[in-house]
Amino acid sequence: MATVTSSGQIPATPDTGTPVPETPRWVPIRSLAPRHRPRILAHLLALPEGDRYLRFGHPATDAQIGRYVDLIDFERDEVFGIFNRRLDLLAMAHLAHMGDHARTHAAEFGVSVRPSHRGRGFGGRLFEHAMLHARNRHVDTLVVHALSENLPMLRIARSAGAKVHRDGGDAEAVLKLPPETLGTQVEELIGRQAAELDYNLKRGARRLDDLLGIIADVHAGVGGSGGLGSQ
């Protein structure tokens, strides 16, 4: 879903052609929990029809997306997200463990990025994060099922070394993962703690903004009524 750009270039958004900033060297990616279902639903419902088609393989309706979100198993699977300062979900990935699949240690990856934040490499960053998380959970195979026309997603998988098999309009990318190491464990731990800190700072900033807004509204109300001098 996300556009992959070469290093050093400032890409343009597909909708407006307006240049957008390069992806920072580090992007805070936070694990999501059941309490984030409303934010996940809002993110997916905001996707335009074409994006829904590429993400789910069919033009998913609001009701179908709602059922998908309700059925996410946070105990078995992992869901990751990238938030802005207002804690809107800009991009998310679902790493679903395939326990009933022929590859018993496989997981399937799916991703979506808000149209206004394409071209920043969020899809690729989420894929890298999913690979790290999967390795540390003894997953040896990462699978991406996508439409053959979903070139950005297939490009992300290929750039990581996945082998892509096409069957008409469908494609499957299969990436073999190396075993975990002490380095991958430490990397994930540091990344998780940093992302949690970033999220808490954003949550505190949002609460402060809301409080300042309430104070401003109260002040405006008092001023509009003439204040105490009008009594």
* DSSP element (H, E) containing 210: helix 182-224
Q: Do residues 135 and 127 lie in contact, with contact meaning Cβ atoms separated by under 8 Å? A: no
CA 105 to chain centre: 23
3-state secondary structure of 20: coil
Is 70 exceeded by the pLDDT of residue 24? no
**Nearest alpha-carbon partner for 81 in 156, 27, 146:** 27
pLDDT tens by residue, 48-100: 999 999 999 999 999 999 999 999 999 999 999 999 988 899 999 999 998 65
Distance CA 207, CA 60 (A): 34
Mean pLDDT of 121-127: 94
Is 90 exceeded by the pLDDT of residue 122? yes
Distances (CA, A) of 144 to 7, 70, 75: 24, 22, 21
Mean pLDDT of 155-166: 94
**Within a 10 A sphere around the Cβ of 114, how many other Cβ atoms?**
20
List CB contacts of 99: < 8 A, sequence separation 6 or more. Answer: 76
**Nearest alpha-carbon partner for 120 in 90, 81, 150, 93:** 90
- The structure's pTM equals 0.77
Mean pLDDT of 182-210: 86
User: What is the sign of the dihedral through the CA atoms of 50, 117, 125 and 208?
Assistant: negative
Mean pLDDT of 20-29: 72
Mean pLDDT of 25-33: 90
Query: How much is the pLDDT for 10?
Result: 30
Give the chain's domains with CATH numbers.
30-215 (3.40.630.30)
Q: Do residues 29 and 125 lie in contact, with contact meaning Cβ atoms separated by under 8 Å? A: yes
For the chain, the first-to-last Cα distance in angstroms comes to 60
